[in-house]
Amino acid sequence: MPGKTDLSRLNCSLARALGAVGDWWTLLIVRDAMFGVKRFSDFQHSLGIARNILSSRLARLIEADILARQGTEARPLYVLTAKGRALLPALVALMQWGDAWQSDGKPPVVVTDTAGRAIKPLGVRSPSGASLDSAGVRFAPGPGADKRTRAFFKARDVADSD
C-alpha cells in the first residue's frame, strides 16, 4: 500500500515539480551539481549520503531530464541539463529562506554574480516590479485548471470572509 503517492492527480505545477524534486536528497544533489560536483564519489562524499540512495536518486534525476550522464560509461560525469539549471531560482530562494529563518545569521554559502557581488534576495514581483509579500499575492485558476481546481478556488473566495 505505501509507496510514493501519485501526485499527478493534483492539478498543480507545484505538485508536478515536487514529483521530480520533492525529496531532500534530490535537491541537495542538484545543489551540489550547481556547485560543480560531477562524480558519483564526490556527491557521495560531500553529502554523506548512502550509496544506494545516491544511485537511485541520480537515476531518477536522469530519468526526469534534470541531470545527464557524460564522460565514459565507467567514469560518468553527472551534469545539469537546461531543465536542471532552471531550478536555480527555487534553490536559491530556499537557501535564502534557510539563511533568514533557520540559521545563526551567518550564511555558510553566498551566492554572487561573476564579479563577486552578492545577489539580491529573490522575491515575488508584480508586473511593475513592485515586491510582493504573501498578502499582496492572489492565486487563481489558470488555463490548465480542471473542474476540481476551479471549485477549490471558488470555495476559497467564499471562505475568504472567514
Partner DNA sequence: GTCGCAAAGTTTCATTTTGAAACTTATCGA
Partner DNA sequence: TCGATAAGTTTCAAAATGAAACTTTGCGAC
When asked if residue 68 is in the footprint of a second copy (CB under 8 A), the reply is no
Strand partners, 96: none
When asked if residue 38 is in the footprint of a second copy (CB under 8 A), the reply is yes
User: CB neighbours (10 Å) of residue 58?
Assistant: 20
CB of 59 or CB of 100, closer to a second copy = 100
When asked if residue 48 is in the footprint of a second copy (CB under 8 A), the reply is yes
Q: Which of 11, 18, 68, 76 binds DNA (CB under 7 A)?
A: 76
The interface partner of residue 74, options being DNA, a second copy, none and the CB cut-off 5 to 8 Å by kind, is DNA
When asked if residue 137 is in the footprint of DNA (CB under 7 A), the reply is no
CB of 133 to DNA, least distance (A): 27
CB of 21 to a second copy, least distance (A): 8
Q: Which long-range contacts (CB under 8 A, 24 or more apart) does 78-86 make?
A: 78/33, 78/37, 78/38, 78/39, 78/40, 78/43, 79/33, 79/38, 80/30, 80/33, 80/34, 84/30, 84/33, 85/34
